[in-house]
């Protein structure tokens, strides 16, 4: 056999390059989901992923069909004591109040300005819509993005006295990473405003704007002083909730997911739609059972109500996360 | 320096592994755009791509911001003598006529059944909409996908007597590949029906359904016999043309492209929107100048009219493809 001499440093260099090359292939095999306690929930997720990514399995799914859809509020970050976008809306009403003296007499603006939550809640969906239109429309999309980013940079959650963006679920961040390491394409499919989420999702979840589906208001295109602008109009375009979720998935993604994750009855149709996939699919509900570290709520909650979904999960054998027992930590800062 | 002995075969093996690893990095450098003649058009495309992908360039753009938007009809495949989706619509009217005896007396169905193109054209947008609603709605999305695929598998273009899917532009396929090799994410942004295109775009262009933006009709979610279905409704949801294109891009993609490619005045707003990107951007018009190999048309054409766009391209220094002189071949089969 022919032998040649090579310096150790050259050999080490070659081997280091090889390690660099193989890193991507190795990653998925490292201990996935470290913040999840061992148990049936974690096992069922891992078994599903192994099954659909194993080329020798009858349930193998091609990478391009590995679509995973995640609800956002109460599923990737908290939603109590009210949706974070509602905190934003209330802060915007207060910030804009000086320019709208009429709001002192007009409901539900008056209730917001007087911190009268009871009247605000009583104004219902119609009242809420008025607040959203007054605060989310009438500016360019660029300006709205700036407003959202500025708010997020300073606003604090009342219970934790931390940024709202700190209140993302560490175990779900790991789940998103784990799925992506297994060539899943991860999407958000949320009832929240698409333009409220998009400036945040890349940084928070590694999900780019083009993989965010949400509720929207209408817009128009205009050239203002030679500059093309998209202007936000005070008119609902699409509500991405309940039966709207499969419609939003079909409209924006155009394929049926094989993995869907939600936490409320508003996610039920998305899970049903995913369950109807001819390919093997996985339906995951997050049950908020941890009043101490987060919140505990389900059938009787006004926000994130989960009743029908729990029943259907039980009947169909879907996986339900018991937050208190399945998660070692809730938030990354804990 | 410490020396160790290593067999040549081991060294070769290590080096082969390294070559395998680096292959992906090397690929973009191979002769790109072989079906494009040398000249200013090809050079301007390549120079732009080199500039925004060079980390040392002041115009460097991060991969996640490398969004490229392509019109479809007359830009990735032909659109003459009429949009291919209109051929599909006419064939569907004929296929469904037996179930609709009333169509024999009702315009514009009567015109279609009698091959009376003059009356059909005279029925205008309203007439066309009637045909589209009668043929594109009233079924599940799964069923519609099947109908589109079946039609494409058998229908023939009248001039070339070939599948419509043969009439894609070879130089544009190469451009899509070249951009993707340089970590661009390629999207279709077309006035055509989103659900007409999506079953075809992966196979034709390597563009997955979730990267297709187009016109749409409304849908509803229903559980029929225990099976979740999305039903197509005879009502316009969104028209992705002219000012609708930047709106569609903003809605579906949520970022401004740095590369936009179109062929008609219907693409002008998309190109204007792209030109307003703070990052360096590239605007490309395809001018149909080849009556012999394809078609020649611009300002006076009823389909794919290009007048304002040509003027603005000239005024702003956008790149215009002269099909006859810039392209070595038009279709892959040539």
What is the C-alpha separation between A333 and B10, in angstroms, rounded? 48
Cβ–Cβ below 8 Å for A254 and B227: no
Cβ–Cβ below 8 Å for B247 and A230: yes
What is the C-alpha separation between A46 and A270, in angstroms, rounded? 21
What is the C-alpha separation between A4 and B11, in angstroms, rounded? 9
What is the C-alpha separation between A87 and A71, in angstroms, rounded? 19
Count Cβ atoms within 10 A of the Cβ of residue B163 and give its class: 0-12 exposed, 13-18 middle, 19 or more buried. middle
Measure the CA angle with vertex A237, ends A307 and A230; round to 5°.
135
Tell whether A210 is within 8 A of chain B (Cβ).
yes
By Cβ distance, the residue of B18, B223, B228 closest to A17 is B18
Tell whether B14 is within 8 A of chain A (Cβ).
yes
Residue B1: band (very low, low, confident or very high) from pLDDT cuts 50, 70, 90: very low
Q: Where are the beta strands (DSSP E) in B116-251?
A: 185-193, 212-224, 227-238
pLDDT at residue A41, as a whole number: 98
Helical (H) or strand (E) element with A229: strand A227-238
Write out residues 122-141 of A within 8 Å (CB-CB) of B: 141
What is the C-alpha separation between B181 and B241, in angstroms, rounded? 28
pLDDT at residue B121, as a whole number: 87
pLDDT at residue B31, as a whole number: 82
Count Cβ atoms within 10 A of the Cβ of residue B140 and give its class: 0-12 exposed, 13-18 middle, 19 or more buried. middle
Q: Which of A182, A164, A184 is nearest to A76 (CA)?
A: A164
Residues written for chain A: 334
Enumerate residues 6+ apart whose C-beta is below 8 A from B324: B289, B290, B292, B293, B296
Query: What's the rounded mean pLDDT across residues B92-100?
Result: 97
- Provide the 10 A C-beta neighbour count for residue B202: 14
Residue A265: DSSP 8-state:
G
Q: Please list every residue in chain B whose beta carbon sits closer than 8 Å to the beta carbon of residue A230.
A: 246-247, 250
What is the C-alpha separation between B70 and B262, in angstroms, rounded? 6
* Closest CA–CA distance from residue B272 to any residue of chain A (Å): 7
* Mean pLDDT over each residue of chain B, to the nearest integer: 93
Q: What is the pLDDT of residues B146-173, one digit of tens each?
A: 999 999 999 999 999 999 999 999 999 9
3-class state of residue A306 by DSSP: coil
The residue with greater pLDDT, B6 or A25, is: B6
Place of tokens 């109500």: A305
Asked whether B295 and B318 are in contact (CB, 8 A), the reply is: no
Greatest extent of chain B over all pairs of C-alpha atoms, in Å:
95
Between B141-154 and B84-96, two packed helices, what is the crossing angle to 10 degrees? 100
pLDDT at residue B24, as a whole number: 46
What is the C-alpha separation between A226 and A229, in angstroms, rounded? 9
Asked if residue A285 has pLDDT above 90, the reply is yes
* Mutation target among B251, B276, B277, B283 for the A interface, most CBs of A within 10 A: B251
Asked whether A270 and A260 are in contact (CB, 8 A), the reply is: yes
3-class state of residue A191 by DSSP: strand
Asked if residue A2 has pLDDT above 60, the reply is no
Cβ–Cβ below 8 Å for B209 and A17: no
Asked whether A288 and A321 are in contact (CB, 8 A), the reply is: no
Asked whether A217 and A129 are in contact (CB, 8 A), the reply is: no
- How far CA A56 is from CA of A27, A49, A133, A184, in Å, comes to 21, 13, 52, 18
Measure the CA angle with vertex A38, ends A37 and A43; round to 5°.
120
Asked whether A214 and A190 are in contact (CB, 8 A), the reply is: yes
* Closest CA–CA distance from residue B174 to any residue of chain A (Å): 21
* % of chain A beyond a pLDDT of 90: 89
Count Cβ atoms within 10 A of the Cβ of residue A307 and give its class: 0-12 exposed, 13-18 middle, 19 or more buried. middle
Q: Please list every residue in chain A whose beta carbon sits closer than 8 Å to the beta carbon of residue B8.
A: 1-4
What is the C-alpha separation between B104 and B12, in angstroms, rounded? 75
Tell whether B228 is within 8 A of chain A (Cβ).
yes
Closest residue in A to B25 (Cα) is A21
Q: Which of B205, B200, B235 is nearest to B76 (CA)?
A: B205
Structure token digits, residue B163: 């599948």
What is the C-alpha separation between A197 and A195, in angstroms, rounded? 5
What is the C-alpha separation between A168 and B329, in angstroms, rounded? 53
Asked if residue B32 has pLDDT above 60, the reply is yes
Q: Is the dihedral of CA A209, A214, A220, A225 positive or negative?
A: negative
Cβ–Cβ below 8 Å for B210 and A9: no
Q: Which of A42, A71, A41 is nearest to A319 (CA)?
A: A41
pTM of the model: 0.91
Asked whether A200 and A165 are in contact (CB, 8 A), the reply is: yes
Q: Where are the beta strands (DSSP E) in B163-302?
A: 185-193, 212-224, 227-238, 259-262, 282-289, 296-297
Query: Beta B3-7 vs A3-7: how paired, if at all?
Result: antiparallel
Whether residue A81 is preceded by a cis peptide bond, meaning omega within 30 degrees of 0, is yes
pLDDT at residue A212, as a whole number: 98
pLDDT at residue B288, as a whole number: 98
Query: What's the rounded mean pLDDT across residues A230-256?
Result: 97
* Closest CA–CA distance from residue B194 to any residue of chain A (Å): 8
Structure token digits, residue A86: 């509602």
Asked if residue A11 has pLDDT above 70, the reply is no
Asked if residue A139 has pLDDT above 70, the reply is yes
By Cβ distance, the residue of A20, A220, A247 closest to B230 is A247
Structure token digits, residue B321: 């493809």
Query: What's the rounded mean pLDDT across residues A48-61?
Result: 98
What is the C-alpha separation between B167 and B81, in angstroms, rounded? 13
Q: What is the pLDDT of residues B280-317, one digit of tens each?
A: 999 999 999 999 999 999 999 989 999 999 999 999 99
Asked if residue B261 has pLDDT above 90, the reply is yes
Q: Which of A188, A190, A238 is nearest to A208 (CA)?
A: A188
Q: What is the pLDDT of residues B98-134, one digit of tens each?
A: 999 999 999 999 999 999 999 998 998 899 999 999 9
Structure token digits, residue B107: 């315009």
The residue with greater pLDDT, B211 or A29, is: B211
3-class state of residue B68 by DSSP: strand
Tell whether B115 is within 8 A of chain A (Cβ).
no
Q: For A219, phi and psi rounded to 5 degrees?
A: -135, 165
What is the C-alpha separation between A194 and A232, in angstroms, rounded? 12
* Closest CA–CA distance from residue A310 to any residue of chain B (Å): 18
Residue B12: band (very low, low, confident or very high) from pLDDT cuts 50, 70, 90: low
pLDDT at residue A46, as a whole number: 98
Q: What is the pLDDT of residues A176-187, one digit of tens each?
A: 999 999 999 999
What is the C-alpha separation between B251 and A252, in angstroms, rounded? 9
* Alpha-helical segments (H) within chain A: 8-26, 40-53, 84-96, 109-113, 117-122, 124-136, 141-154, 170-181, 194-205, 244-252, 268-275, 308-316, 323-326
pLDDT at residue B26, as a whole number: 44
């Amino acid at each position: 056999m022919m032998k040649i001499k090579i310096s150790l440093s050259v050999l080490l260099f070659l081997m280091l390059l090889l390690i660099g090359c193989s890193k991507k292939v190795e990653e998925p095999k490292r201990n996935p989901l470290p913040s999840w306690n061992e148990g049936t929930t974690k096992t069922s997720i891992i078994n599903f992923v192994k099954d659909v990514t194993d080329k020798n399995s009858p349930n193998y799914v091609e990478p391009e069909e590995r679509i995973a859809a995640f609800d956002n509020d109460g599923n990737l970050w908290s939603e109590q004591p009210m949706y974070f976008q509602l905190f934003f809306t209330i802060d915007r009403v207060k910030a804009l109040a000086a320019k709208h003296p009429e709001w002192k007499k007009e409901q539900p603006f008056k209730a917001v300005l007087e911190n009268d939550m009871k009247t605000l809640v009583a104004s219902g969906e119609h009242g809420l819509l008025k607040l959203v239109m007054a605060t989310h429309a009438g500016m360019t999309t660029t300006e709205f993005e700036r407003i959202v980013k500025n708010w997020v940079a300073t606003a604090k959650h009342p219970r934790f006295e931390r940024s709202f963006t700190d209140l993302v679920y560490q175990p779900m961040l790991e789940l998103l990473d784990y799925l992506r390491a297994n060539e899943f394409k991860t999407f958000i499919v949320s009832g929240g405003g698409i333009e409220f989420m998009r400036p945040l999702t890349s940084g928070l979840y590694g999900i780019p704007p083009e993989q965010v589906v949400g509720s929207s208001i209408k817009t128009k295109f205009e050239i203002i002083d030679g500059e093309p602008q998209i202007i936000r109009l005070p008119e609902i375009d699409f509500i991405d909730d309940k039966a709207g979720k499969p419609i939003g998935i079909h409209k924006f993604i155009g394929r049926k997911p094989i993995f869907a994750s939600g936490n409320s009855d508003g996610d039920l149709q998305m899970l049903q739609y995913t369950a109807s996939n001819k390919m093997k699919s996985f339906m995951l509900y997050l049950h908020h059972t941890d009043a101490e570290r987060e919140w505990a709520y389900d059938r009787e909650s006004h926000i994130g109500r989960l009743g029908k979904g729990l029943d259907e999960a039980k009947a169909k054998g879907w996986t339900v996360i018991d937050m208190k027992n399945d998660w070692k930590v809730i938030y990354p800062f804990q």
